[in-house]
Chain A
Amino acid sequence: MNTKTYKPLLIFIAFLFLTLFLLLPLLIIFIGAFSQGFGVFWHSITEPAARHAIFLTLLVVVVTVPLHTLFGLSAAWALTKYRFRGRQLLITLIEIPFAVSPVIAGLVFIILYGVNGFLGEWLLANNLQIIFAVPGIIFATMFVTLPFIARELIPLMEAQGSDAEEASLTLGAGGFRTFYHVTLPAIKWGLLYGVILCSARAIGEFGAVSVVSGRIRGATNTMPLHVEILYNEYQFAAAFSVALLMSLFAIFTIVIKQVVERKQQLG
């Protein structure tokens, strides 16, 4: 089909649409962050409340991502190296958090662990607090980000099959050694992207965390919640400064994806 005539027009429309919806929002974050000079930007990301929000966000990532990595590897191994009834159903079930509103993802933990929740009295009796505290934030983030690493690995390991592993076992290598020397090298790029995307989403989770956090400044505020508070207080430059830090990680995520796709095409 001779579409050459339409080429410039279609490319122009695509660029115009993406500029309006993606490029300008990104640009306004950069401009907003430095609108009152570098000093205000630097102060906004180093003052105590911001430092605490950054610390708490990193804590959530450090707990969530390694556990999700372990889950992703287990799920991909169990669901691609063996054939059993209900396998396809389980692959679909992993994606359930994508279909659940983040607000509902937060709500379920209030129902379970809140004061009036199913385990509320028991937690209170044992002096444990989950809701309106850091554990609640971690649970809510884990719910929302659960599928990210698994769904990168499952198609990769599915396509790879298990002949190489079987050969390695036949040659006398143990299960973990086979996994480390045969399976892992073949999936490492997909795993890397999964881990980074999962981290980006864990850093940026807002709805679910906002439900369970209690939004106590300096105690249960993650970076997105800190941005919300600053924005609602009309401290736009400060809000955009913290937003910029998170945007830089989002851009890093996208760059890694491009690199990984290129590596996978070559290898």
Chain B
Amino acid sequence: MKRTLPGFPLSFGFMMFYMSFIVFIPLIALVWYTMGIGWEAFWNAIFDPRLFAALRLSFSASFIAAIINGVFGLLIAWVLVRYDFFGKRIMDGMIDLPFALPTAVAGIALTSLYAENGWIGSLLAPLGIQVAFTPIGVTIALTFIGLPFVVRMVEPVLRSLDQETEEAAGLLGASPFTIFKTVLLPLLTPAILAGMTLAFARALGEYGSVVFIAGNIPMQTEIVPLLIMNKLEQFDYAGATAIATVMLALSFILLLGANILQWWLSRNLGQKVVDSSR
């Protein structure tokens, strides 16, 4: 391609300067600082039963929330792509609410809803189920936060599929369940997984929507970002940066995984477009 358009040095230069100033230099400073605290302080911060409990909660609640969003995200994407019904546009718009609503607002709304005297909490209390201030509450907040990812990832893939294969399978006598399992699911799995990975990564770092409903009981309902917050409030910068560096490494591995899935997806979808155009 010809480089006839002007403005490359200006736009590229400004982009690099801006990203370095806002994102790269601060992140490098964090890793640099962690390297300066020494191995002993680092291990002391990492080998802490409270951190292990927080990691266990963060990972399990984020994982369960990602599974819930995988199942219901697929279902909602299916409904939005394949059916026409009253209220479809409202449903489509509502999906983006967790992206646009401030996390603290989501946090206090969910807490009020699921507290023992709340609309849903009061229905669950007689059954002996407590949601607010338990790991279930954490999972609900993380489900809210991750809701759009799978829907928005699966929708375009579902739309791009031609329905001939499904119809052929139906004509050959396959049941809807068999068609779903053998024809649709294999094609949709990468998109579902990519969406779930993004939802999981977002959930791991989430703070605002969780702190209100979690109750923040040490060893029980304390998530990792809150632990970093606690260390900061005690001016334990070494401890805070050590945990943050570990979290950062985990997040980048997840982002890499999601990117590989998306790359795989676009390559295979690209293939599909070529196939149907022949």
Contact = CB atoms under 8 A, between A and B. Distances in A.
Interface string B75-99: 1101100110101010111111111
Interface stretch (B46-54, B108-116, B185-193, B269-277): B108-116
Contacts of B143: 21
A25 B144 contact: yes
Interface in A71-99: 71, 73-75, 77-79, 81-83, 90, 92-99
B26 A93 contact: no
A108 B27 contact: yes
Interface in B167-201: 167, 169-170, 176, 179-180, 201
B33 A77 contact: no
Interface residues of A, number: 100
Interface in A39-91: 67, 70-71, 73-75, 77-79, 81-83, 90
Contact of B29 (A75, A112, A162): A112
Contacts of A71: 14-15, 18-19
Contact of A1 (B29, B30, B169): B169
B109 A104 contact: no
A239 B228 contact: no
A101 B105 contact: no
Given A101-B204, A243-B108, A18 B15 contact: no
B6 to A, nearest CB: 4
Nearest to A101: B205
Interface residues of B, number: 95
A139 to B, nearest CB: 7
A24 B205 CA distance: 25
A243 B109 contact: yes
Contacts of B214: none
A137 to B, nearest CB: 14
A192 interface: no
Interface in A193-216: 197, 200-201, 203-207, 210-211
Nearest to A70: B14
A266 interface: no
Contacts of B32: 118
Contacts of B108: 227, 231, 239-240, 243
A124 interface: no
A107 B244 contact: yes
Nearest to A82: B8
Interface string A116-139: 111000000000000000000001
A97 B23 contact: yes
Contacts of A211: 229, 232
Interface in A164-180: 165-166, 169, 175, 178-179
A253 to B, nearest CB: 4
Interface string B1-40: 1111111101110110011001101110110110000000
Contacts of A102: 103, 205-208, 225
- Interface of A, helix, strand, loop or mixed by DSSP: helix
A2 B103 contact: no
Given A18-B76, A78-B12, A97-B23, A111 B105 contact: no
Contacts of B166: 1
Contacts of B95: 18, 22
A236 to B, nearest CB: 7
Contact of B105 (A2, A24, A29, A110): A29
A109 B26 contact: yes
A258 B23 contact: no
Nearest to A4: B83
Nearest to A32: B112
Nearest to A162: B5
A100 to B, nearest CB: 6
A14 B14 contact: no
A257 B93 contact: yes
A219 interface: no
B248 A74 contact: no
Given A2-B170, A258-B89, A75 B15 contact: yes
Contacts of B76: 14, 17-18
A235 to B, nearest CB: 11
Interface in B58-90: 72, 75-76, 78-79, 82-83, 85, 87, 89
B179 A1 contact: yes
Given A92-B259, A255-B93, A13 B247 contact: no
Contacts of B10: 74
> Which 4 pairs show the lowest CB-CB distances between chains A and B?
A204-B102, A101-B205, A207-B207, A108-B26
Given A73-B11, A74-B12, 15 more contacts: A3-B176, A14-B72, A14-B79, A15-B87, A32-B112, A103-B226, A103-B228, A143-B23, A175-B6, A175-B7, A206-B104, A207-B206, A207-B208, A224-B104, A225-B104
